Chain A
Amino acid sequence: MGHFLEAHQTVSDLLEINPNGLYCPAGDFYIDPWRQVSHAVITHAHADHARPGSDRYLCASPGKHVLRTRMGNNATINTVKYGEHFSVHGVDISLHPAGHLLGSSQVRVHHQGVTWVVTGDYKLQQDSTCECFESVPCDVFVTESTFGLPVYRWPEPATVANEINTWWRANADSGRTSVLLSYALGKAQRVASLLDPSIGPIYGHGAVMKLVEAYRASGVRLPPIDRIPPRSRKIGGGRGIVIAPPSAAATSWINRFGETSIAMVSGWMLLRGVRRRRGFPQGFILSDHVDYPDLMQAVKASGAQRVLVTHGFTDIVARLLTERGLQAEILPTRFIGEERPDDSDVDKNLEDGLQHRDSESTD
């Protein structure tokens, strides 16, 4: 017991929240800071984790091209290989695959005998477009909880891939263009990797293509994906499939393909109410976040006695873990409270910006 208290005291000092975000005082760096700081370790390139304007960024080497796409040419980005240790002011840091998207990391921070792991966003499911999540033992585990309710249990990706291809084939056979809505970064590339190119041609919205190129430059194998030809109707003779960000569905951009069948790819599609509200008759359940059983498994595998819960159903997961004998607390995020089914478009602002530029260049 005495040992536990002692550990706890040191632990609370290693990382803390200040107005700029999650900070390590001993090493003087931030993890996914909310504001501009001097040293930022980035778990992954989604806009709610990678904010522009900091002096120096550090990410895992497979994520360099993707982060560059997001941060611009002038940003200073250093990289480190997964599992490679380095030291800052005596604090030992290493990055480990989080399985969320290409180059996504968990940040392991070790100092004076205490180890923290910050997961960023992560998933345990199989994904051929990025390295698989690796469980890293630690004392304090900082986990996301976007889908931290027991109703969220993902179907097998192979099953979902099969459903998507079946749907696409049926549309192609009746001359309707298929449109898949998914985040431009990560999900779009993962979805592309699941498509069966023998059904028809695959096209990407401009915002998606930018990142497809970054993935290719990083050595990820994807099926052939084309830019959308200007003034196209019935692309690929109605056998084609278009991957676009959700924000594109609300614009007239979508109308140019003639008759379409639109489906959203998201973990939120698990709920009937959300499918009905978003008005898409078809939804495919595929998420780059952990579902509830995998979240519980990841917590257990970490061996941590203390768990900080962030991003999502924080109060519920913290209460559950406390009941199960762990020391669990809520770690606040700047992004108010919870990610919701209705703003699942995490990168919306960024994607909207890209989309305007793209529609100018492709039309």
Chain B
Amino acid sequence: MQHFSDLYWRLDSTSSTNQKVSALKNYFASVPSQDAACALSVLCGAKQVRAVSTRLLREWAAEAAGLPLWLVEESYAHVGDLAETLALILPEQLTNNPGGSNTIADHPALSLSHFMQETVIDLKGKPDVYKRQVVEETWRRLKPRERIVWHKLITGGCRVGVSRTLVARALAELSGLEPTTLAERMMAATIETAEDFQSLISKEPTSADGLRPFPFFLASPMNSEVHELGSITEWQAEWKWDGMRAQIVRRSAGISIWSRGEERMNDAFPEIVDAAESLPNGTVLDGELLASLPNNLLPFSMLSRRASRKRVGKKILAEIPSVFVAYDLLEAHGKDIRSEPLSLRRKELLAIVPTGFQRRPAPAGGTVKLKNGNGNTNDRLFHSPLVPNGTWDELRRSRKHARQRGVEGLMLKRTTSSYAHGRQRGDWWKWKVEPLEIDAVLHYAQAGHGRRAGLHTDYTLGVWDGDQLVTIAKAYSGLTDEELIEIDKIIRSTTIERHGPVRIVKPTLVFQLAFENVSKSTRHKSGIAVRFPRITRWRRDKVPHEAATLSDLKALLAQTTGETE
């Protein structure tokens, strides 16, 4: 546990990738495989157990520290990190120790995996009195710095500031394998035991290799003028579909659907698993999962309703059927073809998946009829058709209509490009539609977390409905640190009311808010939801009453989707 805590703080205290890799490598080299496996799953952001609710934990800590609960809440609002807050308020030496002097000094090399088992995993489902006993006992055993890390583990919220790529690099240096091999293995296998970790870094091919996907290649956002990419003949264009990126792996070991988050999604998309049976053995497709009726593309919000489910019932299967639209072919007839040029991979893709996906959203106001018994597997797998690209101008025109087509924009891929891994710039670009923009007024503010702790950086923005502000979005990003500090001061001096950590402010601050789309919403008081809202500019030049109104937003809704109230 101390080793892991030291690793956590070492990674936290440096921004240098080399130092991070070397800290990781030293850690993995010095701990037993059992602990390495346990640490790895935390580092890679595997789903963690929430053994104790944060509510109980803060109540117990408040009592142990002899503080009223509200003061702990206020402290949390200031610190911005619960695990840290609780560690800071707890007395260094907890008194009333019935078990004698059972301090950490007595267990200098407390194994992370044993510790996790005892103080986190075993607590699941136990009565609160038992949990509390273990929690208080553990506080006695740990130093304040270690308590922070353990608080994160026990509440299932331990995120460490390293990417998988860095972890793979460290393990590659340790094992002498290629970083890509490790990245692939890490993606395919769940690593829980000492044996899992051993086979991860073993030179021998492993059983997990059978269903393993390839690391995803990610496109970079297109921020300059497209014609700077050179001759259009070197590029192919596709729609940027608004679904979930996924890989279908079809091998003799079976079928697996992998999300970009490296979760296996077979349970959420059984009809795609069925459809993939028709693919030749030794096929890996990269593509997008979309929700779609036989005639009409459904919006992303419908897809996300089913993606979060462990099991999908008949009703959902009928109401929100899914399809897979393939972008690329990574493995053909058992052979890894990622280094072949895109043009060739595409030719082979079309041979395996001949039908192009052409569906659009339902026309405005039109009703959609459900067709019964849509069980035709040929109706599930498509390829992503090319968008005609005679000239850059032709593409610019197509992009203008993207929003009405229910897509996010265009993808531009160099026809000679191989399928790389991670986000390498140059060959693949996402050229999204210009975001929609309005000016909105700051309505409520709350202190941020992490490096924005103690600064009011979580903004709730509103637009005018008569002389009332109605909330339309929460937004965080897009401002510089200097601006955030200046705005924080304004928020403090214009606070009208405080409700715990939330401040209601006098409307003085206007921000330009960008978002991808508007849709009707029954969940928001305004009746409108915006997708991916972010602040793009602080409009110091505007007074609050120059900001947008609710009817402006409704007009946008009508304009972009044809939807009206």
Contact = CB atoms under 8 A, between A and B. Distances in A.
A151 B148 CA distance: 13
B451 interface: yes
Contact of A336 (B70, B454, B493): B493
A343 B13 CA distance: 23
B interface SS class: helix
B74 to A, nearest CB: 5
Nearest to A276: B451
Contacts of A340: 454-455, 488-489
A271 B84 contact: yes
Contacts of B88: 150-153, 270
Contacts of A320: 68, 71
A341 B456 CA distance: 12
B68 A151 contact: no
Nearest to B14: A281
Nearest to A323: B68
Contacts of A343: 485, 489
B236 interface: no
A277 B485 CA distance: 11
Nearest to B447: A273
Nearest to A320: B71
B450 to A, nearest CB: 6
Given A150-B75, A316-B71, A338 B452 contact: no
A277 B492 contact: no
Given A272-B12, A273-B449, A342-B485, A337 B493 contact: yes
B55 to A, nearest CB: 19
A249 interface: no
Interface in A132-153: 149-153
A274 B452 CA distance: 8
Contacts, number: 75
Given A150-B67, A273-B449, A273-B453, A342 B488 contact: yes
A277 B484 CA distance: 11
Contacts of B13: 281-282
Interface residues of A, number: 26
Given A151-B75, A151-B79, A342-B488, A273 B493 contact: no
Interface in A253-268: none
Contacts of A342: 455, 485, 488
Contacts of A323: 68
A67 B26 CA distance: 53
Contact of A271 (B14, B453, B493): B453
Contact of B489 (A150, A271, A313, A336): A336
B85 interface: yes
A276 B70 CA distance: 27
Nearest to B486: A342
B452 A277 contact: yes
Contact of B81 (A273, A313, A341): A273
Nearest to B493: A336
B80 interface: yes
Nearest to B80: A273
Contacts of A282: 13
A341 B493 CA distance: 16
Contacts of B450: 273, 276
A149 B78 contact: yes
Interface in B43-84: 65, 67-68, 70-72, 74-75, 78-81, 84
B402 interface: no
Given A276-B450, A336-B492, A149 B481 contact: no
A128 B410 CA distance: 68
Interface in B70-118: 70-72, 74-75, 78-81, 84-85, 88-89
Nearest to B89: A150
Nearest to B12: A272
A341 B485 CA distance: 10
A151 B78 contact: yes
A323 to B, nearest CB: 7
Contacts of B492: 336-338
B309 to A, nearest CB: 35
Nearest to A315: B498
Given A149-B74, A281-B13, A281-B14, A273 B79 contact: yes
A359 to B, nearest CB: 22
Contacts of B454: 271, 273-274, 340-341
Interface in B449-481: 449-455, 481
A343 B485 CA distance: 9
Nearest to A150: B89
Contacts of A271: 79, 84, 453-454
A131 B33 CA distance: 56
B481 to A, nearest CB: 7
Contacts of B14: 281
B71 A150 contact: yes
A152 B88 CA distance: 7
Contacts of B451: 273, 276-277
A149 B14 CA distance: 28
A281 B19 CA distance: 13
B75 A149 contact: yes
A66 to B, nearest CB: 29
Contacts of B488: 340, 342
A282 B9 CA distance: 12
Nearest to B481: A277
B118 to A, nearest CB: 27
Interface in A307-363: 313, 316, 319-320, 323, 336-338, 340-343
A313 B74 CA distance: 10
Contacts of A338: 492
Contacts of B449: 273
The 9 closest A-B pairs by CB, nearest first: A273-B453, A151-B88, A276-B451, A277-B451, A342-B485, A150-B89, A151-B75, A337-B492, A336-B493
29 contacts: A149-B74, A150-B65, A150-B67, A150-B75, A151-B75, A151-B79, A151-B85, A271-B79, A272-B81, A272-B84, A273-B79, A273-B80, A273-B81, A273-B84, A273-B451, A273-B453, A273-B454, A274-B453, A274-B454, A277-B452, A281-B14, A281-B15, A282-B13, A316-B71, A336-B489, A336-B493, A340-B455, A340-B488, A343-B489
Given A152-B88, A277-B451, 4 more contacts: A272-B12, A277-B453, A282-B13, A316-B71
Interface of A: 149-153, 270-274, 276-277, 281-282, 313, 316, 319-320, 323, 336-338, 340-343
Interface of B: 12-15, 65, 67-68, 70-72, 74-75, 78-81, 84-85, 88-89, 449-455, 481, 485, 488-489, 492-493
